Structure 1
Amino acid sequence: MSQITKKYITSDELKKHNKPDDLWISIQGKVYDITEWAKIHPGGDIPLVNLAGQDATDAFIAFHPGNVWKYLDKLFTGYHLEDFKVSDVSRDYRNLVNQMIKNGVFENKGHGVIYSCCFIVVLFSLCLYGVLCCNNFWVHMLSGILLGFGWIQVTYLGHDSGHYQIMTTRGFNKLAQILAGNCLTGISIAWWKWTHNAHHVACNSLDYDPDLQHLPFFAVSKSLFHDLTSRFYGRELTFDWFARFFVSIQHFTFYPVMCVGRCNLYIQTFLLLFSKRKVPDRAYNILGIFVFWTWFPLLVSYLPNWNERVLFVLVSFCVTAIQHVQFCLNHFAANVYVGAPKGNDWFEKQTSGTIDIACSSWMDWFFGGLQFQLEHHLFPRLPRSQLRKISPAVQELCKKHNLPYRSLSFLEANVWTIKTLRTAALEARNFASPVPKNLLWEAVNTHG
């Protein structure tokens, strides 16, 4: 039998196939046409579009279990990448993943889900008891605190179910996502998947990562002062006089805004679910939101007067601000860049754009495993119970390749974040960078 001759294309030729209607990627040197697959990809089309026209091996390995590789065959174009190379960092990363697979760490989820579910039931039960069965003002406020902590723990559980299967089947896992996200927190799991997968792939890209696009209220870099186009939202991130005013005081408004940041998540949920954009399981997501906006207002209505109702909601939102702040600490003070993510520097980009939060093991429940932010970004399918165990190997790999591994205390991470916001705020007050202003802005900022 004659030997089959391989067909090759160069990286430059691959780059030409980088549009939604002509989308090719390379994995392990083999070229795949994923134009049609991107439309039904469970992780959404945006991560694939962001990596279009280039090698995406490390990202593919990070997000997919081994049993997914077989589905690539039907997408194979017949071409191989002529100048395919693997960097030393990527080779070590892939070796580490293979070793983890052999050790079964991706399948060893521990009993974290059971513990989390029990804890959530206790928190919500105590909240319900405090509101429905007690008439004391302080008990009602304590109930609001418990509800806030319950939402935090539910969010961690929803996050876990979105990255790996925490239930016995995919159907039950999807049910857990809808219950945890939509029904209990009012935040759509469809919205979370849409933004979160894009964030992972384009970690800390100012124009591709939605988690850094918070104008007009926050800007972590002066690069956002030049009207960047959000490749995620498909619109211009306008830095006008309104944005300049709020950014110029962002180091003062950061924590107050975080206290009501949950309102923005509700708004974003409604904007997505009732948009023309294709939303997976739209009906289930809307039904889950309807469940939340039934039980939550009903619970609040049982409080005796409007003062307590408003305070109850504010208290619960302020508690969840701890989690919103934590998410910012993991990335705001890290390195940022402008442009699309590149598939051949996956490990480097994750180390550059993430910051870990150092804490004792007994506090892991509080941070939901996301204090190991770098480990989570490198191995998003890894159960949270395994993150602390794999951390030493990640640190060793970073040290070997002279890459940053930043692990700060919760207090230190807050200080770094506020310094980053203050630096950008002072830059925003620089009149050498003109934007449309009004007299109010000039009056407030004349004396810095």
Structure 2
Amino acid sequence: MSQPVAEDHEPLRTQHKHTHLYTDLLRTVRELGLLKRRRGYYWTRIGLVLGAFAAVWVGVGLIGNSWLQLLMAGALALVLTQVAFLSHDSAHRQIFNSAAWNDWTARLLAGGVVGISASWWRSKHNRHHSGPNQLRRDPDIDIGVIAFTPEHAASRTGFQAWLTRRQGWLFFPLLTLEGLSLYVASIQHLFRRSATKMDRIEAALVVARVGGYLTVLLLLLPPGKAGAFLGLQLALFGVCLGGSFAPNHKGMPLVPASMRLDFLRRQVLMSRNIRGGAVTDFAMGGLNYQIEHHLFPSMPRPTLRKVQPIVREYCELHGVKYTEVSLLSSYRIVVDYLNNVGLRARDPFQCPLAAQLRG
């Protein structure tokens, strides 16, 4: 009786081996205690950020009817960006052991302080985490004003095609509209026909926050100055938040919808870290450790820096490309990619492993 050919089982053995790559790394991280909660860190940070939020409004009241209020609008945008980062952490269940405590903290910070829907964002963001840069799976590369894939770019004609060829240079100016876009998407989600009871509670939070914000501005300032305050705050908030998310995946390989990859490669190869120190960590809310965040979404933010050398060494050991660049370099990559997205390869992500693991 003939023996089975070893080569027939090689793809299965390869897939099995790569599946265990992440399991082994996760075991090491757990044994080192790097997934433990950092409640003291987060309570301190939440207290400081909410204190800064209150201080901004005290400043608005003290300044009164003056164009100096634009300084307070800028300060409010920066504080709200930090609140949004904390809501992001809580939505990923980085803060508490209790899922309910994390979920409610995310709702209160996002809906009650920032004014956006945590449930809408969580649904969108979880789909991104499950398939970063994967066509028809990652909502962050869905077609919109910006074309992120060659297919999207090729479908455009006339003025849209002209805009797409220059969209890299327009990307950061367009981020000034990102804040407004978040509010519109949140309202649409919370007031859809299929909204749940929890959505209605969240809708009440968002409406109270947005309505209270506009009321206070109009009571304290003339309409022109109130409009300028609101416009500057939304624009700067959009740039700060969008500028923190954009470097992480834009310009990294795209994954065809039918391609199957093991978890470690799926998260590492499509993510980019941003090199920097404490200032970068603060400004980007820990998202500069994007690779580590994607590998361990529930890991507390301050631990990401500690696990980075372990992950980098592990990737080098197993031949997995680990990408880390400076913030300015990442922005140059994003601008170049978006300006040339229509010229990129039609089969955007190929490697021997991917060919073996295709469905």
* Mapping of residues 90-239 of structure 1, within 5 Å: 90-109=19-38, 111-135=40-64, 137-167=66-96, 169-215=98-144, 217-225=145-153, 239=156
Structure 2 vs 1, CA of residues 326 and 341 (structure 1 numbering), >3 Å: closer, same or farther?
farther
| Secondary structure of the corresponding residue to residue 302 of structure 1 | helix
Task: Give, in whole Å, the separation in 1 of the partners of 2:58 and 2:51.
Answer: 10
| Secondary structure of the corresponding residue to residue 34 of structure 2 | coil
CA shift, 1:240, in A, is 5.3
Q: 1:126 touches 1:143 (CA, 8 Å); kept in 2? A: no
Structure 2 vs 1, CA of residues 214 and 316 (structure 1 numbering), >3 Å: closer, same or farther?
farther
| Secondary structure of the corresponding residue to residue 368 of structure 1 | coil
Quote the residue 2:212 is aligned against. 295
CA shift, 1:323, in A, is 1.8
Instruction: Name the one with the larger helix percent.
Output: 2
Which of 240, 246, 268 does residue 328 from structure 1 map onto?
246
1:407-444 deviation digits (Å, cap 9, x = unpaired): 111111111100101112678xxxxxxxxxxxxxxxxx
Structure 2 vs 1, CA of residues 365 and 398 (structure 1 numbering), >3 Å: closer, same or farther?
same
Task: Give, in whole Å, the separation in 1 of the partners of 2:319 and 2:100.
Answer: 43
- TM-score of the superposed pair, with normalisation by structure 2: 0.85
Structure 2 vs 1, CA of residues 171 and 345 (structure 1 numbering), >3 Å: closer, same or farther?
closer
Structure 2 vs 1, CA of residues 193 and 122 (structure 1 numbering), >3 Å: closer, same or farther?
same
Structure 2 vs 1, CA of residues 330 and 411 (structure 1 numbering), >3 Å: closer, same or farther?
same
Aligned AA (1:100): V
CA shift, 1:272, in A, is 1.6
CA shift, 1:243, in A, is 3.7
Larger mean CA deviation between 84-93 and 137-146 belongs to 84-93
Alpha-carbon RMSD: 2.3
Aligned AA (1:283): R
| Secondary structure of the corresponding residue to residue 198 of structure 1 | helix
Structure 2 vs 1, CA of residues 154 and 398 (structure 1 numbering), >3 Å: closer, same or farther?
same
Structure with more relative contact order (C-alpha pairs < 8 Å, separation 6 or more) = 2
Identity %: 23
Q: 1:202 touches 1:340 (CA, 8 Å); kept in 2? A: no
Which of 354, 363, 368 does residue 271 from structure 2 map onto?
354
Task: Give, in whole Å, the separation in 2 of the partners of 1:290 and 1:304.
Answer: 21
CA shift, 1:246, in A, is 3.0
Structure 2 vs 1, CA of residues 240 and 286 (structure 1 numbering), >3 Å: closer, same or farther?
farther
Structure 2 vs 1, CA of residues 85 and 424 (structure 1 numbering), >3 Å: closer, same or farther?
closer
CA shift, 1:280, in A, is 7.0
Count of residue pairs the alignment pairs up: 332
Quote the residue 2:355 is aligned against. none
Task: Give, in whole Å, the separation in 1 of the partners of 2:161 and 2:74.
Answer: 34
Quote the residue 2:200 is aligned against. 283
Quote the residue 1:305 is aligned against. 222
* Mapping of residues 237-276 of structure 1, within 5 Å: 239=156, 241=158, 243-276=160-193
CA shift, 1:149, in A, is 1.0
- TM-score of the superposed pair, with normalisation by structure 1: 0.69
Runs of at least 5 residues in structure 1 that lack an aligned partner in the other structure: 1-82, 228-238, 428-448
Task: Give, in whole Å, the separation in 2 of the partners of 1:249 and 1:118.
Answer: 43
